[in-house]
Amino acid sequence: MTAPKVYKTEAIVLKRINLGEADKILTLYTPNLGKLSAIAKGVRRPKSKMGGHLELLTHSSLMLARGQNLDIITQSETISSFLPLRGDLWRASLAIYAAELVEQLTAEHVENYPVYKLFLDTLHQLCEAQDGELTLRYFELNLLTHLGYKPELHYCLGCKSPLEPTANFFSASGGGVLCPACREKEPQSQHISLNALKVMRFLQQSDYPRASRVRLNAELSRELESLMRHYIRYILEREVKSVAWLDRLRKEG
């Protein structure tokens, strides 16, 4: 069956790159088509009717025409622009980090509705959440789960025994936790406290309303961030670019 030449989809704008004098190439994440790239012609012109509907992190309804190399956006209408993110640099930066993770960890044209729903819910949550970093930890853990990288947090990777309520060790290469006795098999593993392990388990098993009730002190928040960064860096084989920006913003208060 021949694919239709014109099709409609919802999409969240992950990335924008200038093309020529007036166009942009957009990276989009959609509910049923996964990640895709498309051209928005003339969108950088001041009188463009589509410009405001195709901003970074905008959730829009789009009409696209199939092109020879990239599809072309012909119509756009905003569903949500997530206004609280636009006026808050910290919240916006957290959302850009989440978008970068989706863009970096997913392949083009691979449908994954749970990833789309998680990302959309995360943008809404970042507009309202008191603790945006807790929201990111929830997002990271559940994104990795939906993409096949769910860390093992209940049984030791080495001996397969249930983890004891003590300090254990997180192995990025193994994708989970090692007990103290098995730690020597993975000297690069990172210490994980009992509280961090409990929080990660809870975030894996909860929805956003339940997860948002967790309260983290600064030390535990930094530990969770370090563990997730370490694991994501191992998966991507590089650092997420927006991490440096988040560190700078936090340092500057």
Residues 12-27 have pLDDT tens digits of 999 999 998 899 999 9
Structural domains counted in the chain: 2
The answer on 66 and 136 residing in a single domain is no
| Residue 112 scores a pLDDT above 70 | yes
The answer on 138 and 188 residing in a single domain is yes
CATH of the domain at 20: 2.40.50.140
3-class state of residue 209 by DSSP = helix
The single-letter DSSP state of residue 178 is E
pLDDT confidence bin for 67, thresholds 50/70/90? confident
The answer on 123 and 19 residing in a single domain is no
Query: For the whole model, what pTM was predicted?
Result: 0.94
| Residue 91 scores a pLDDT above 60 | yes
Residues 176-222 have pLDDT tens digits of 999 999 998 888 899 999 999 999 999 999 999 999 999 999 999 99
Bridging pattern class, strands 168-171 and 190-192: antiparallel
Is 1 among the domain residues?
no
The answer on 229 and 151 residing in a single domain is yes
The answer on 172 and 156 residing in a single domain is yes
Boundary of a domain, candidates 46, 62, 81 = 81
The answer on 113 and 38 residing in a single domain is no
- What's the domain range around 188? 84-251
What's the burial of 75, exposed, middle or buried (CB within 10 Å: 0-12/13-18/19+)? middle
Is 197 among the domain residues?
yes
Boundary of a domain, candidates 81, 112, 147 = 81
Closest CA to 14 of 56, 45, 44: 56
pLDDT confidence bin for 174, thresholds 50/70/90? very high
Is 137 among the domain residues?
yes
Predicted pLDDT of residue 3: 65
Boundary of a domain, candidates 81, 107, 139 = 81
In sequence order, the 6+-apart residues with CB closer than 8 A to the CB of 222 are none
The answer on 94 and 199 residing in a single domain is yes
Mean residue pLDDT across the chain: 94
Over range 230-240, report the average pLDDT.
96
